[in-house]
């Protein structure tokens, strides 16, 4: 992005951060925003953790930076009519993800929708720039990964694979802060949706015959292979982030 797109166009890239989600999950002294871990309850029922990480680790630092750029760092009141425009890359096959920002000082624009570009057009364009292998952006150990993403980590980067396998084992009883404060998870937590340790999880491609044997429908098979469609993009899937953000960066501020 920096070399091929931003630099030639004279667009500065600003990096923001709220810390390291992996370290925070394992640090009993750190406040932790929960990730959408797959839970196996004691009675065997499957569940899922709340997802607060998108708000904490993506939306919050972006808002902080935007306020700074506007000249109104939190908690300064931003005058009416002062706002930034954000371009959010939502393609036509996922138009349901296009949402307004939840604060008046940010206005979302969706250029891919304006150009009527689907995922196919995006891939074609990236390919023309020599960027055909552009991956989905997400945290390394995101529980929303599909098997294709897990395989890619395993096959392309053994050290990262070892890291996520270790992390998966480390969060089996939930995050460290919750355990330290007596809020132990009443089941077990996993990164892979099969709810077995990542090192043993069935991440290889599921064939049509296996799918039929497992009674898995086409939609479920697609999520299994490609991950959760909405993935993790700020302002494309706010979910629990809304509630988290109201405290610090809500509409009133
Ligand atoms: S990529 Fe996954 S783990 Fe990371 S912030 Fe998004 S939902 Fe959370």
Alpha helix ranges (H) inside the chain: 7-9, 21-26, 53-54, 60-70, 111-114, 119-128, 147-156, 158-170, 176-180, 208-213, 218-226, 241-249
Pocket test for ligand 1, best of 19, 51, 193 (most atoms within 8 A of CB): 51
Q: Does 40 reside within a domain?
A: yes
- Report the nearest-CA residue for atom 4 of ligand 1: 139
Q: Does 245 reside within a domain?
A: no
Q: What is the pLDDT of residues 154-189, one digit of tens each?
A: 999 999 999 999 999 999 988 888 777 777 778 999
Cα(162) to centroid(ligand 1), Å: 19
Q: What's the rounded Cα separation, in Å, for the pair 82 and 105?
A: 6
Q: Does 239 reside within a domain?
A: no
Q: Does 64 reside within a domain?
A: yes
Domain extent, residue 62, equals 2-229
CB atoms within 10 A of CB 219: 9
Q: Does 235 reside within a domain?
A: no
The residues lining ligand 1, judged by C-beta closer than 6 Å to any ligand atom, are 35-36, 51, 53-54, 57-58, 138-139, 142, 144, 232
Q: What is the pLDDT of residues 57-113, one digit of tens each?
A: 989 999 999 999 999 999 999 999 999 999 998 899 888 888 888 899 999 999 999
Q: Does 240 reside within a domain?
A: no
Q: Does 251 reside within a domain?
A: no
Cα(62) to centroid(ligand 1), Å: 15
Q: What is the pTM of this model?
A: 0.81
Number of domains the chain contains: 1
Q: Does 237 reside within a domain?
A: no
């Amino acid at each position: 992005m920096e070399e091929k797109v931003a630099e030639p166009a004279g667009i500065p890239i600003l990096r923001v951060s709220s810390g390291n989600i992996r370290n925070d999950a394992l640090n009993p002294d750190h406040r932790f925003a929960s990730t959408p871990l797959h839970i196996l309850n004691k009675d065997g029922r499957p569940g899922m953790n709340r997802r607060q990480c998108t708000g904490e680790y993506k939306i919050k630092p972006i808002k902080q930076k935007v306020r700074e750029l506007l000249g109104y760092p939190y908690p300064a009141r931003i005058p009416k009519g002062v706002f930034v425009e954000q371009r959010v890359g939502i393609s036509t096959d996922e138009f349901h993800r296009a949402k307004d920002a939840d604060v008046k000082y940010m206005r979302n624009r969706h250029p891919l929708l304006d150009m009527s570009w689907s995922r196919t057009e995006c891939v074609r364009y990236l390919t023309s720039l020599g960027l055909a292998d552009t991956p989905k952006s997400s945290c390394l150990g995101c529980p929303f990964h599909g098997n294709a993403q897990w395989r890619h980590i395993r096959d392309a980067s053994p050290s990262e694979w070892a890291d996520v396998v270790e992390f998966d084992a480390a969060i089996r009883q939930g995050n460290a802060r919750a355990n330290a404060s007596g809020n132990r998870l009443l089941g077990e937590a996993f990164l892979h949706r099969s709810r077995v340790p990542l090192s043993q999880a069935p991440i290889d491609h599921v064939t049509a015959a296996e799918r039929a044997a497992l009674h898995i429908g086409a939609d479920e098979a697609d999520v299994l292979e490609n991950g959760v469609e909405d993935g993790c993009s700020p302002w494309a899937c706010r979910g629990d982030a809304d509630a988290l953000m109201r405290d610090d960066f809500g509409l009133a501020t």
